[in-house]
Copies of this chain bind each other. A is one copy, B any other.
Amino acid sequence: MRNKEKNNARTERRDAAENRQRILDAALRLFEENGVEPVSMNQIAIEAQIGAGTLYRRYRNKSELCLDLIRDNLDLLFEDMDAYLEQHRDDPPGRRLKGILRLFIRFREKKLQLLAGVEEGASPSRPKNRSPNPMLVELQETFARLFGEMSASEPSEPENVFKADMLLMALKSEFYVFQKEVRAYSSEQFLERLCSALFPTAGN
């Protein structure tokens, strides 16, 4: 669906492409003015001057729309992470994990609202958002791998996967915002807590 996978036959029709842009523009405009959460798909359709059906054809819900809006930034983030891992390949795994977590949290800070929009329970009552979301899967695997390296001795594979799952959970908007607002943590404090809760800060 993404950037017109060139490989796949037909290219996007011109009018469709134009509408896509209208939608993105309209959404951005409305989000900037009102924040992400209170803006409805309805409003976006109206602002973009298209029918509701057209909007929903392209984005099944607001979550998908938000994802499209940060797609590029997200790709950059992942590149940054990869670069970081590459550059610090000789650091102990705990350090490296902390490093990429810091990158992620910084990103989260910048795109708080949109990211929350992406996570937002897509549809109420509907078949439920059963999409693993490839980006999260990749992140999850990276975490799991680093946990694996961390104690190369025994901690079984599943153990690492589980920890990675927990980490991912803790990085969700809901938890992050709660820690910031209710527990009054700064990003860096949060990061610190997270690391010391999930792995012994051996090397550092």
Residues of A within 8 A of B (CB): 37-38, 40, 121, 124-125, 128, 158-159, 161-163, 165-166, 169-170, 175, 178-179, 183, 193, 196-198
Contact = CB atoms under 8 A, between A and B. Distances in A.
Contact of A197 (B38, B124, B128, B166): B166
A146 to B, nearest CB: 15
Contacts of A128: 37
Contacts of A158: 183, 193
A129 to B, nearest CB: 11
B197 A159 contact: yes
Contacts of A175: 165, 169
Contact of A166 (B37, B159, B162, B170): B170
A165 B196 CA distance: 14
Given A162-B183, A166-B166, 5 more contacts: A37-B125, A121-B121, A159-B197, A162-B193, A169-B175
Contacts of A170: 166, 169
Identical chains bound together, number: 2
A152 B37 CA distance: 43
Contacts of A124: 124
A116 to B, nearest CB: 11
Contacts of A159: 193, 196-197
Nearest to A38: B125
A50 to B, nearest CB: 21
Contacts of A197: 159, 162-163, 166, 198
17 contacts: A37-B128, A40-B125, A159-B196, A159-B197, A161-B183, A162-B179, A162-B197, A163-B197, A165-B175, A165-B178, A165-B179, A165-B183, A166-B166, A166-B169, A166-B170, A169-B175, A197-B198
Contacts of A162: 179, 183, 193, 197
A73 B134 CA distance: 39
A61 B37 CA distance: 19
